[in-house]
Every structure is written in structure tokens, then in C-alpha cells.
């Protein structure tokens, strides 16, 4: 154990690990990249985080850099949960529900709590937290907040930032702050503080005032945009101010979250599910457009394409039983209505069915929950693609997180299929089509030089397509390292400078997750590419003696 690790172990309650086993494990997340950390720390409480941050800050003041990367379960697909310094792992100890008010539905939780477990608890109180990522059974709330995650219910309930009302955050120098929306008077009090917190409020306020015109350029006409920082929601027209939306989605680059305050929604266990098939892109575009015009929006409009159906059927045909059989349609749609079983549901179901009967090839309405589970299993067949190895080829996460305005969906799909035709790869698609989000993970062998080159060619063409349609390169997940080199093709240099200034305000020594959102080039990405990729290690790594 190094001197630094030894010193920290003596001063922290949580474990400090430098074993080869731990370093190996934490050198990867669910991205295609690998970086070996110096050590792994499992903080027991906020004080452990504070002491770690204070220690690295003091080292940085003396010119010695040890970066800190916060980590939940490491399911991140953009290389944002790895780093060459300290990895602070929250899932081991800081994983409790601290408070839950069953009347208001507000909950205070530690960042390392598993999303799925929190959801189960909320269900027992008749509540739920929207925006659960499909990796939610394996990942943490802290990771979801830092990524501003979303789920299939995005179209009705919005993204996670809507539900995070406050945070406790450990700043780069070890100070702890509490965030939440405040009025002008409260802001003035913060502006007068002599601490680092006060300095941050003063500088952020000034930056936002000076750059008001530039801020608007970060707005993209999509349901969800995670590229860069969220600068728009900090200061409202009424003069209120809140740093929470800035921290949400900042991927541990501005501060380390030690507690999250969440709003929740009423849980409706009796949803209605419609499944439809269609045979061409034009039909799909009309259906999605018409559904988006409804005043009572579906909670999910999901899609899988014929390529995915064929590939998944070859791996495991059992989930198709009684639902679909070959020859498979070009697209299969899943539309969920999250409404109480009353007249409104009848009315909306009738409207949705009418749209589908006009433009889709087949339509099925399902009210019964066990039958719905079977249909959702079919929607989830993308997991077969991700976990099934085809020889040495793996489905790798490189280009599947863009979103376009839903009216441009047809053009997006045509463009995607063309890109893949040129590279002679088969695109198997799925995603939140109602929100213009399409996921895909091409099968490649990242150990082969030719395939490694294809990764960068595909990314270049994919981002060019998305930007030509007015979309965003990061929607569901986030920028991480993977998309950092491409951020400047989405935003102009003025806006990129504002992002950089914001980072400097919070993290002047660049201690917090460096290389994420800033400072990673395409050559840097090439140098950290893993030799092989697999999703097999999607489980928690807890401290061992
Ligand atoms: C199969 C699969 C499906 C996925 N589906 C979705 C999806 O549907 N929607 C979606 O949004 N994402 C999805 N993801 C991406 C990812 O799983 C989610 O964003 C998830 O919420 C990340 O949680 P985690 O605990 O694994 O975080 P990690 O991967 O550990 O970390 C993610 C980011 O959060 C930061 N972070 C973690 N904890 C803290 C903290 N306490 N303070 C500050 N920063 C912190 C990390 O530094 C990192 O930048 C998917 C990934 C996989 C592999």
C-alpha cells in the first residue's frame, strides 16, 4: 500500500483498497475504455468524502494531483466511472434511505442506494420515482442523478432532474453545501459568504449574468439533452436560484453528491399496454407524430426493429411465444398508458387504438398485468444482444445515445440504416422512439485494428447525422469520456468556453473526474480502448477483507 493510501486508511472509517483485484475491477466500467486507478475508497459517511476531498485539494495546492472519480455501480457506458486517481465507491456503505415522508412522497437517500431497491420500497408506499434507467436493478441513485438518467417513461414524466429537489454536495476543497431552490434574499445571503461556497455563488451568478445570450445556445429541440452542463435551469426569471440542476447530469465533475432529496409520483400498478407492428418508416413516423399530439400522452412509446427481433429470436425464441412469429415486422411498437381505470383511460385507449388501426399492421391491447409482463419481456430483448457473444464480436456501446426531434425520426432511421449498410454491419435498434431516442450497439471485435478504426468512423458519421437533424449527441446517458471530443461539434466555441469557466469555478485544480466533459481528444480515447469488451461484470463489487 502506498504512503498516501496508508495515510487515508488511517484517517477514514471506510476501507481503502489497493489490491490488484480491486484495481483490476475498477479499471473498467460498462464502457469500452479502461484506466487503472491508484486506489479505491469505500466511504462510510460524508465525513470520509470530505476528508478525501480536503486531502487531494491540499496536495493539489502543492502541485501534486490525485483525481477523484465518484462511482455508484459502474454501469456507465461512457467511461465516466473510471479514472487514474481515487475511485470513491458509494454502493458499499452509503446506501440507505435516510428519510421518507409518506404524505408528501419526498425522500432523502444516500447516493449508493440501488435504484431498483428504492423503487420497490416506494411501491410499498404507493409511490414511484420516474426515470428509472433500464440498468436500474444494477445501478445507484447517485449514478442516475450524476448522469441525469431517464427511462421509458420520459415522454410522460420527464427526466430525473425534475425529481431532484435538493442535494448535499462535497465540494472539491472538502466543504459541504446544501442545494435547493432559493429566493433572491436567500441568494444574497449565499453571495455574502466568505467560504468557497460563497465564492462559487458569486462567480456562477456573475457568469450567468454576463453570458445570458450564450446560454440559450445550449437549448436543443429534443425532449432530453444531457450534452455539456445544464445552465438554463439555475436562474429563473423570478430571480430564484438553484445549483441542483447544474450538479444533476454533471457526472461528478463539479462536486461529489453525498445525499439526494427526491420528489416521487403516485404509483399506478394498473397500466394499459398496446403492442403494434408496422412495416415501414413512413408509417412509424406518422404513428409517433400522432401519439405525440395527444393531450394525455402515453407514458412510454417504445420500439424494437426487425433486425433485433431476428437476432434475439435466434438466441432465445421462447419470449416470442404467443406474441410474434416469423416473418417479423420491420418495427414493433409498445405503447403504455399510465392512467387510472376510468372513463379517461377508455377515451385515451380508444384514441390510441384508432391511430394504430389506421397506420399499423397489427394492434393488440392488453390490460392484464401478467400478459403485459410477457410483452415487456419482448420489448427487453435488447438485453440478449448485449449479453450474447457472437464469436469474438460484442455489442459495444459507442453510438447509441443520440436523440433527434421526434418529427425527424424517419430521416434519422433512414440515415442510420445507410451508415450501417456502408460498413456492412447489421444495426439492431431499440429505444424510446416517442422521444426521438434510438439505441444501438454494433457488434465489433475491439481487439481487431480494423474494427477499432470502424468505431471512430461510425461515431463520426453518427454524430454528423444527428447534428444535421438538430439533435443531441447525449440524451439518455451522458457525455463521459466517449462523447467529450465531439461536444465542440455540437456547441459553438462561446458556449464551450462558458462550460469551461463553470468547471473552473467549482474545480480550479481539475481534481473531480478529469477527462469527463473536458480534456479528452479522439487520440486519448484510442489510447484507453480496452482489448476486449463484455457486460458480464455487471454486478456490485463490495469491499473484501
Ligand atoms: C445495459 C445498460 C442499460 C442502460 N440503460 C440506461 C437507461 O435506460 N437510461 C439511462 O439514463 N442510462 C442507462 N444506462 C447508463 C447507466 O447505467 C445509468 O446512467 C445509471 O444510472 C448509472 O448508475 P451507476 O450507479 O452505475 O453509476 P456509475 O456508472 O458508477 O457512475 C455514473 C456517473 O455518475 C458519477 N457519480 C456516481 N456517483 C456519484 C456521486 N455520489 N457524486 C457525483 N457523481 C457520481 C460517476 O462519476 C459517473 O460519472 C444503461 C447502462 C447499461 C450498461
Place 542 in a pLDDT band, splitting at 50, 70 and 90: low
What pLDDT score was predicted for residue 386? 83
Place 520 in a pLDDT band, splitting at 50, 70 and 90: very high
Residue whose C-alpha cell is 456547441: 491
What pLDDT score was predicted for residue 545? 37
Arithmetic mean of pLDDT, 390-403: 89
Whether the pLDDT of residue 523 is over 80: the answer is yes
C-alpha distances out from residue 103 to 107, 111, 262, 263, 419, Å: 11, 23, 14, 11, 51
* CB-based contacts of 168, cutoff 8 Å, min separation 6: 46, 176, 177, 178, 179, 257, 258, 259
Place 539 in a pLDDT band, splitting at 50, 70 and 90: low
Q: What is the 3-state secondary structure (H, E, C) of 481-525?
A: CCCHHHHHHHCCHHHHHHHHHHHHHHCCCCCECCCCCCCCCHHHH
CATH class of the structural domain 271-396+404-471: alpha beta
pLDDT tens per residue across span 315-360:
989 999 999 999 999 999 999 999 988 889 999 999 999 999 999 9
Pocket probe mutation, ligand 1, options 76, 506, 518, max atoms within 8 Å of Cβ: 76
What's the distance, CA 45 to chain centroid? 25
pLDDT tens per residue across span 236-294:
999 999 999 999 999 999 999 999 999 999 999 999 999 999 999 999 999 999 999 99
Q: Cα of 139 to ligand 1 centre, how many Å?
A: 6
Round to whole Å and give the CA distance between 44 and 107: 20
| Ligand 1 atom 21: residue of nearest CA | 144
| Ligand 1 atom 31: residue of nearest CA | 143
pLDDT tens per residue across span 124-173:
999 999 999 999 999 999 999 999 999 999 999 999 999 999 999 999 99
Check for a shared fold between 97-131+139-148+157-266 and 271-396+404-471. Answer: no
What pLDDT score was predicted for residue 540? 55
Using a pLDDT cut of 70, give the percent of the chain over it: 98
What pLDDT score was predicted for residue 306? 96
The domain 97-131+139-148+157-266 is placed in CATH, from the list 2.40.50.140, 3.30.465.10, 3.30.470.10, 3.40.47.10, at 3.30.465.10
Place 383 in a pLDDT band, splitting at 50, 70 and 90: confident
Q: Cα of 147 to ligand 1 centre, how many Å?
A: 6
Round to whole Å and give the CA distance between 269 and 475: 28
Pocket probe mutation, ligand 1, options 25, 52, 71, 300, max atoms within 8 Å of Cβ: 71
Ligand 1 site, residue 142, Cβ cutoff 6 A: yes
- pTM (2 decimals)? 0.96
pLDDT, averaged across the chain = 95
The helix or strand, by DSSP H or E, that contains position 40, with its residue range, turns out to be strand 39-42
| Ligand 1 atom 28: residue of nearest CA | 74
Place 177 in a pLDDT band, splitting at 50, 70 and 90: very high
Q: In ligand 1, which atom is closest to the CA atom of 251? A: 49
Q: Cα of 75 to ligand 1 centre, how many Å?
A: 5
Place 424 in a pLDDT band, splitting at 50, 70 and 90: confident
Helix (H, G, I), strand (E, B) or coil at 424: coil
Round to whole Å and give the CA distance between 346 and 470: 36
Q: Cα of 30 to ligand 1 centre, how many Å?
A: 9
Amino acid at each position: 500500500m502506498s504512503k498516501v493510501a496508508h495515510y487515508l486508511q488511517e484517517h477514514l472509517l471506510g476501507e481503502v483498497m489497493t489490491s490488484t483485484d480491486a484495481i483490476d475491477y475498477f479499471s473498467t466500467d460498462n464502457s469500452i475504455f479502461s484506466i487503472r486507478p491508484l486506489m479505491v475508497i469505500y466511504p462510510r459517511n460524508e465525513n470520509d468524502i470530505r476528508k478525501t476531498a480536503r486531502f487531494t485539494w491540499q496536495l493539489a495546492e502543492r502541485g501534486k494531483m490525485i483525481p477523484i472519480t465518484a462511482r455508484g455501480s459502474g454501469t456507465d457506458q461512457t467511461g465516466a466511472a473510471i479514472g487514474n486517481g481515487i475511485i470513491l465507491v458509494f454502493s458499499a456503505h452509503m446506501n440507505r434511505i435516510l428519510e421518507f415522508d409518506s404524505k408528501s412522497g419526498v425522500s432523502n437517500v444516500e447516493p449508493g442506494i440501488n435504484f431498483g431497491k428504492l423503487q420497490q420500497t416506494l411501491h410499498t408506499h404507493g409511490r414511484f420515482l420516474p426515470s428509472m434507467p433500464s440498468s436500474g436493478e444494477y445501478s445507484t441513485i447517485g449514478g442516475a442523478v450524476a448522469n441525469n438518467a431517464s427511462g421509458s417513461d420520459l415522454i410522460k414524466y420527464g427526466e430525473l432532474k425534475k425529481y431532484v429537489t435538493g442535494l448535499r454536495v462535497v465540494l472539491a476543497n472538502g466543504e459541504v453545501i446544501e442545494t435547493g431552490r432559493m429566493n433572491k434574499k436567500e441568494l444574497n445571503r449565499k453571495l455574502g459568504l466568505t467560504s468557497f461556497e460563497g465564492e462559487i455563488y458569486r462567480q456562477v451568478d456573475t457568469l450567468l449574468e454576463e453570458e445570458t445570450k450564450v446560454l440559450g445556445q445550449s437549448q436543443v429541440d429534443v425532449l432530453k439533452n444531457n450534452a455539456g452542463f445544464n445552465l438554463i435551469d439555475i436562474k429563473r426569471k423570478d430571480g430564484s436560484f438553484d445549483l441542483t440542476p447544474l450538479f444533476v447530469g454533471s457526472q461528478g465533475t463539479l462536486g461529489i453528491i453525498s445525499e439526494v432529496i427526491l420528489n416521487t409520483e403516485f404509483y399506478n400498478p394498473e397500466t394499459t399496454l398496446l403492442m403494434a407492428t408496422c412495416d415501414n418508416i413512413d408509417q412509424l413516423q406518422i404513428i409517433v407524430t400522432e401519439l405525440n399530439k395527444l393531450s394525455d400522452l402515453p407514458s412510454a412509446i417504445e420500439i424494437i426493429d426487425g433486425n433485433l427481433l431476428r437476432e434475439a429470436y435466434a438466441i432465445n425464441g421462447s419470449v416470442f411465444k404467443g406474441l410474434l412469429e416469423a416473418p417479423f415486422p420491420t418495427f414493433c411498437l409498445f405503447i403504455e398508458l399510465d392512467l387510472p381505470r376510468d372513463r379517461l383511460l377508455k377515451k385515451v385507449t380508444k384514441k390510441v387504438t384508432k391511430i394504430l388501426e389506421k397506420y399499423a399492421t397489427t394492434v393488440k391491447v392488453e390490460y392484464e398485468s401478467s400478459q403485459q409482463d410477457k410483452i415487456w419481456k419482448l420489448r427487453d430483448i435488447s438485453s440478449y444482444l448485449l449479453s450474447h457473444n457472437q464469436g469474438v464480436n460484442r455489442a459495444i456501446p459507442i453510438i447509441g445515445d443520440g436523440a433527434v426531434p421526434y418529427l425527424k425520426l424517419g430521416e434519422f432511421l433512414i440515415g442510420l440504416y445507410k451508415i450501417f449498410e456502408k460498413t456492412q454491419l447489421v444495426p439492431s435498434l431499440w429505444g424510446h422512439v416517442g422521444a426521438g431516442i434510438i439505441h444501438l450497439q454494433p457488434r465489433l471485435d475491439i481487439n481487431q485494428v480494423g474494427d477499432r478504426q470502424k468505431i471512430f468512423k461510425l461515431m463520426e458519421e453518427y454524430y454528423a447525422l444527428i447534428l444535421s437533424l438538430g439533435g443531441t449527441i447525449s440524451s439518455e446517458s451522458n457525455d463521459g469520456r466517449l462523447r467529450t471530443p465531439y461536444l465542440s461539434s455540437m456547441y459553438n466555441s462561446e458556449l464551450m468556453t462558458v462550460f469551461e469557466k463553470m468547471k473552473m469555478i467549482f474545480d480550479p485544480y481539475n481534481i473531480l473526474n478529469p477527462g469527463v466533459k473536458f480534456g479528452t481528444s479522439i487520440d486519448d480515447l484510442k489510447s484507453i480502448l480496452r482489448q476486449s469488451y463484455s457486460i458480464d461484470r455487471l454486478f456490485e463489487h463490495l469491499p473484501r477483507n
